[in-house]
């Protein structure tokens, strides 16, 4: 495999890893606050549909992005109501929302565009366009690093850079701010937060809404960046893969970056069966390559990567003891 091919694969890794990263960070906020969210998938799907629909109708990707975030936050709010206000089972709420999203997205897209559940293809200003970073052209001649910068780092859409910047930002929020301290505390022992005179409910709602925003970014990126429109079930289990990555990362932001990029790398490999064949010298069937990220998910969830201890109060509604 030559250097150019490697760069192409790394470039795809970032493109494909970003929705996972955004969804993974989304889950991180919610789960660190003690609210399990199996509904990342549904929120992404909802965001993908609403962003693509609105972008197609208005011709503006920015209005589409806002609509995507709004759609995702609506689902986040329902999950918050079910699991915080009404102290319901968080897994059931998440699964239910995934089912609802799966159906309602196709329903809405079909009733608006009548194209078999797809939205109209997006073009021009209705999509996120690649951004060339400063000096990308100029530095292309620099050996090794120049092409790396030009091919892999530069030339992605804005949400890719937003996603990457969210990693250090999340780390900072989590470990260096008052909000982060309280967020981590409420996921470990909500009673400690309650007796300190801080509202458990408000904290958890805020975390769940942040999850909504980030899933919104992930979904909008998929529909308006990675692809040009919404299609039925287009998230294809990425919400679940992001959850697996979150466990793999043990609910920490930098590790989440590593985990999601690993999954992204496997997805990128599946796009280049020729390269895989050249490297392993055996013809690997494409479906087997497609299955790689999912196999890794199963491996992670089976606990083969070491013990991951979730936030201790995760999944438990908080009830003041008498």
Partner 1 sequence: MPNAIPAIELKGISKSFGPVQANRDINISVPKGTIHGIIGENGAGKSTLMSILYGFYKADAGEILINGTLTAIPDSQSAIRAGIGMVFQHFKLVQNFTVLENVILGVEDGPLLKSSLSKARRVLADLSREYELDVNPDALIEDLSVGHQQRVEILKALYRQADILILDEPTGVLTPDEADHLFRILKGLKDQGKTIILITHKLREIMEATDNVSVMRRGTMVGNVKTAETSPEQLAELMVGRKVLLEVEKGTATPGEIVLKVENLRVRDEAGVERLKGISFELRKGEILGIAGVAGNGQSELLAALGGIHAASGRVTFKGGDLPLTGAGANGRARRDAGIGHIPEDRQSLGLIMDFTAWENMAFGYHTLPKYQKNLFEMDNNAIRQDTEAKMAMYDVRPPIPTLAAKNFSGGNQQKIVVAREIESDPEVLLVGQPTRGVDIGAIEFIHKEIIALRDAGKAILLVSVELDEILSLSDRIAVMFDGQIMGFKDPENTNERELGLLMAGVSGGAAK
Residue nearer to partner 1 on the CB measure, 144 or 309: 309
Total residue count of the chain as it appears in this document: 322
Determine if 191 is a binding residue for partner 1 (CB under 8 A).
yes
Contacts of 18 (CB under 8 A, 6+ apart): 156, 159, 160, 163, 164, 218, 221, 264
Binding mask 129-168 for partner 1 (x = CB under 8 A): ----------------------------------------
Token pair belonging to 214: 């980030």
Min. distance of Cβ 177 from partner 1 in angstroms?
A: 6
Q: Is 320 in the site for partner 1 (CB under 8 A)?
A: yes
User: First and final CA of the chain: distance in angstroms?
Assistant: 66
* Closer residue to partner 1, CB minimum distance, 33 or 270: 33
**One of 124, 143, 197, 306 touching partner 1 (CB under 8 A):** 197
Interface with partner 1, residue 182, by CB under 8 A: yes
With binding defined as CB under 8 A, does residue 60 bind partner 1? no
Measuring CA to CA, which residue among 134, 140, 182 is closest to residue 32? 182
Rounded Cα gap, residues 32 and 71, in angstroms: 23
Asked if 170 contacts 32 with a C-beta cutoff of 8 angstroms, the reply is no
Contact with partner 1 (CB under 8 A) among 193, 217, 223, 262 = 193
CA atoms within 13 A on the CB side of 248: 26
What lies within 8 Å, CB to CB, of 284 at 6+ separation is: 273, 276, 277
Stretches 74-82, 93-101, 186-194, 217-225: which one binds partner 1 (CB under 8 A)? 186-194
Of 95, 103, 112, which Cα lies nearest the Cα of 45?
A: 103
- Which residues within the stretch 294-313 sit at the binding site for partner 1 (CB under 8 A)? 312
Binding part of the chain for partner 1, among 32-40, 183-191, 230-238, 256-264 by CB under 8 A, reads 183-191
Sole window of 113-121, 128-136, 174-182, 243-251 interacting with partner 1 (rule: CB under 8 A): 174-182
202 lines the binding site for partner 1 (CB under 8 A):
no
CB of 303 to partner 1, least distance (A): 14
CB-based contacts of 98, cutoff 8 Å, min separation 6? 38, 39, 41, 42, 45, 239
Q: Would you tell me which residues interact with partner 1 (CB under 8 A)?
A: 176-182, 184-185, 188-189, 191-198, 312, 320, 322
């Amino acid at each position: 495999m030559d250097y150019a091919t490697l760069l192409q694969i790394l470039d795809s890794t970032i493109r494909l890893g970003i929705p996972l990263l955004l969804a993974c960070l989304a889950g991180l906020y919610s789960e660190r606050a003690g609210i399990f969210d199996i509904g990342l998938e549904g929120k992404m799907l909802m965001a993908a549909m609403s962003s693509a629909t609105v972008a197609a109708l208005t011709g503006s990707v920015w209005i589409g992005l806002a609509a995507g975030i709004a759609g995702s936050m609506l689902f986040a709010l329902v999950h918050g109501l079910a699991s915080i206000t009404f102290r319901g089972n968080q897994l059931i709420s998440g699964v239910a929302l995934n089912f609802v999203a799966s159906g309602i997205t196709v329903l809405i897209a079909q009733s608006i565009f009548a194209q078999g559940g797809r939205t109209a293809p997006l073009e021009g200003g209705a999509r996120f366009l690649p951004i060339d970073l400063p000096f990308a052209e100029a530095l292309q001649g620099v050996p090794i690093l120049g092409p790396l910068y030009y091919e892999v780092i530069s030339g992605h859409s804005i949400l890719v850079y937003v996603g990457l910047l969210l990693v250090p930002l999340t780390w900072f929020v989590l470990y260096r701010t008052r909000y982060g301290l309280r967020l981590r505390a409420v996921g470990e022992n909500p009673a400690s937060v309650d007796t300190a005179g801080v509202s458990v409910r408000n904290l958890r709602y805020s975390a769940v809404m942040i999850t909504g925003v980030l899933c919104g970014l992930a979904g909008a990126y998929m529909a308006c960046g990675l692809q040009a429109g919404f299609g039925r079930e287009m998230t294809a289990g990425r919400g679940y893969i992001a959850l697996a990555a979150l466990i793999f990362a043990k609910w920490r932001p930098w590790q989440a970056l590593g985990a999601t990029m690993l999954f992204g790398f496997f997805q990128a490999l599946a796009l280049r069966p020729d390269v895989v064949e050249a490297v392993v010298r055996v013809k690997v069937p494409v479906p087997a390559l497609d299955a790689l990220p999912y196999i890794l998910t199963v491996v992670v969830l089976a606990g083969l990567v070491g013990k991951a201890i979730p936030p201790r109060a995760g999944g438990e509604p908080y009830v003041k003891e008498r």
